[in-house]
Structure 1
């Protein structure tokens, strides 16, 4: 619903007996990771779905055009693109540990901020993207190889966090083998790149099935038993907006700390605890890493979120917060009909703590999940809440509206157009012909 600029459609089918329970997409739109129950073999798995994008309205056989600076030559499933999907292919299933047969939630991160992945200035000084400027890929592979100007613009690995509520388990999956293989096929040689140009759903077509290339299979590197049942999972988008390697930007020379500052994961448990984990070198970012299972450690916790935390989500922006994507976590407390933000604070290079920054509540809704609309051009500060019992999507403003056109004289500065009350503003509800269990909002593409 909305003023959509990304309306392409794509779909896929899972194997018989696979019941999907959650989904997470890597930051550059390369892969969808789907947790599920293999009811035929009574085991938990994560399906790996390779994604391919195209300009709006594109059909096979047609020439591609400049649609938000995506790839101009062809789709490249499993490589960064703008995300208007026309192609999905299930390339394999990752087995979870034998004591984790019923996964219920999943989140993934590559350790790269999406702006790092896409935004690049062209020769005229205009904002463009490296994927358009490097089209066709086959002729520009050198730019994306080590030493090339665009080598640090696409992921070299990542980590998937999967939880099982009934089994009180969490598992961490290393995506580095998958990215290393996929990147190598596209960029390793002219011959391997030529193979990737034969895209299709057959096993002999790109992207290839993981069963035929076991070196590409993501690996479970750690599993944990939790003391309480996990109800939701979240990961940071990146180490920080200005991340470089695995360090943190500082104001004094040499401008980067010498100590690692790694991506985090958060697991909510029954009773309102938020357990915080360092993902170490597994959220590889733009350069290959050599992680070890000991990298993944609990580094803190936040308590008192509520009685029934049903979802954790990215806080895309918040007034006065410099890095909301990594420092804030949105949560829903279904029992108390409220939602809010947790503010995370790194107390050292290894420890993280936090507290509840703010909550909102509405006794009229049954909140299952909350998401935030992007503050891209116009700052709207709008949340959308899936109201299960009420059968709709309820919307709320939590901050000022700010329009980008300073010449209009209308809502152009903070404080000019605040919410109607200090605790927020109900902005209407979209009724649905069903009871929603999930909602997501995005500036598209």
Structure 2
């Protein structure tokens, strides 16, 4: 394994070095240099202090989590749990997605990776190169290069998928201003791209629950302000042949399974008090409502034709009235300014419902869609009424990561992590419901203490009240439960092979129960899988497997996949 040059190990990550002048004010020139530095050391500085940056009394001894041995099936395919291999594939399940990394010279900075796979009675718990469809580089990379200015996509900054539903495609944003879609082996969509206006510097991205809108944080050097770009995504099952999607040539920002066919920039929201935004999380208020078919069982979007008033009524006030979000919010953090801004997304969700699910007159307006600002979906300049307003800006010391509840309602919360390891829990009031949003309702209600520099916050799948933090400063992964009372830490993962955790994601599954996370190890130049709960072959006999050599351990390492560079983001989804 290649090792980082010694200079990186000695880098200082003191707060004063992160775009801060000696008097505590923002050093604009330094901040801009940092946001434009895509070298390994520059990207590491973005991520903040690592384990070596903090003084310690002595050398700490880390446990070594047991790694399940690999076995090999026909064709050389790897698996670890279950078996023996059977000729019948059974209820096939796999999870694939993209890994973003700071590349070595000559390497492209995005790969497509298989996170887990279950087939032929065998479960592959290790991250692996896909056996079909492309691996290194990401198969969409050629299309991205053709769309990028001068053929250079630049450095990937971040990638996101809708986290409240099946999201086949994600969007990656690059330093060149390119926004590009990527999917899986069976769900690539049309891999649309969009170029942000020249000069704007993207810093983060988030996508709402059911792939309706993407929010990208930016610095605008000309205006000397921070902004949020709002994108609408189109899906069209007629063009892609995807049976799970809307069969409509004009389906923009409808709740969907995220197989994108086009992207449109609606406009920008200025961020008062934040010139250099560093993170964002955008959510709706619908998580648990399934799509009901005409027969009352679980259905497919292709069953419905919104040209029919009866079908529009199904989504406005009928069995699928709860399928899409009616409200939502976004939280933007500014590490340079020590601020967090709360945006009300209800105007966006309300407008989509109004245009697609109500009258014939409104529906007909969606039939003239396209790239012109006056075509549907209308730009904010054409129709300012659906531009999301900023409801409140709060002081937050050195915010490093942000996440928010997907389900909405009175229990919805926002979580904002600070560099010192405190994770603040915030009430959001009407931002998460159809009630009016109130600045007074947005307030810090509690906090949990995790490891230092929690640079990433993630969802634990199927647990509305539990979140996961990747704590770079203490080389640990920490689970936080907010519950009904005081937030508390419920689990900590430390492993000797985990050198520099900077990102964590909980894996999608189908047909199995497999509580599993993927961690990006920046200086370790690898990603790792860890299982933290029993594996159950739910739809194929119900076999159950614990963790560790005796099945009784708290964690199990599923495997390691190395990269020609330093990974810092993972975005994956279930393969249909």
TM-score range, shorter chain: 0.7 to 0.9
Measured after TM superposition, the shift of residue 75 of structure 1 is 4.5
- In structure 2, runs of 5+ residues without a counterpart are 1-112, 115-129, 131-183
Name 1:262's counterpart in structure 2.
411
In 2, the alpha carbon distance for the partners of 1:185 and 1:67 equals 24
Q: TM-score, normalised by structure 1?
A: 0.82
Whether 1:235 and 2:404 are equivalent positions in the alignment is yes
Equivalent residues of 2:243, 2:302 under 8 A apart: no
Kindly indicate whether residue 465 of structure 2 is the aligned counterpart of residue 291 of structure 1. Answer: no
> 1:443 and 2:574 equivalent?
yes
Cα distance in 1 for partners of 2:548, 2:572 equals: 20
Q: 2:312 — aligned with what?
A: 141
Q: Which segment is superposed worse, 81-90 or 424-433?
A: 424-433
Tell which structure's C-alpha radius of gyration is larger.
2
Q: Provide the C-alpha distance between the structure 1 equivalents of 2:395 and 2:539, rounded to a whole number of angstroms.
A: 52
Work out whether 1:42 is the aligned partner of 2:42.
no
Match of 2:280 in 1: 106
Q: In the aligned structure 2, how far is the partner of 1:418 from the partner of 1:34?
A: 39
**Which residue of structure 1 lines up, in the alignment, with residue 478 of structure 2?**
340
* C-alpha displacement of 1:391: 2.1
2:294 aligned residue (122, 130, 140): 122
Structure 1 unaligned runs (5+)?
240-245, 247-260, 318-323, 348-352
Post-superposition offset of 1:213: 0.4
Aligned equivalents of 1:294, 1:127: Cα separation in 2: 40
1:406 and 1:156 map into 2 onto residues whose CA distance is: 37
1:134, distance to aligned residue in structure 2 (A): 2.6
Residues 301 and 418 of structure 1: CA distance in aligned 2, closer, same or farther (over 3 Å): same
| 21-30 or 185-194, larger mean C-alpha shift | 185-194
Matches within 5 A, 1:190-229: 190-226=360-396, 228-229=397-398
The total of aligned residue pairs comes to 390
**Within 5 A, what are the aligned runs for 1:54-203?**
54-55=236-237, 59=239, 65=241, 67-68=243-244, 70-97=245-272, 99-113=273-287, 115-116=288-289, 118-123=290-295, 126-129=297-300, 131-139=301-309, 140-145=311-316, 147-203=317-373
Is the 2:467–2:479 Cα contact (8 Å) retained in structure 1? yes
Give me the TM-score of the superposition, normalised by structure 2.
0.64
Cα distance in structure 1, aligned partners of 2:359 and 2:291? 26
1:7 to 181, 188, 213: 188
Q: How far does residue 444 in structure 1 lie from its aligned partner after superposition?
A: 4.4
- How much has 1:137 moved relative to structure 2? 4.3
Equivalent residue number for residue 537 of structure 2:
403
Q: Answer 1 or 2: higher relative contact order, Cα 8 Å, separation at least 6.
A: 2
Q: Give yes or no for contact 1:54–1:75 (8 Å, CA) kept in 2.
A: yes
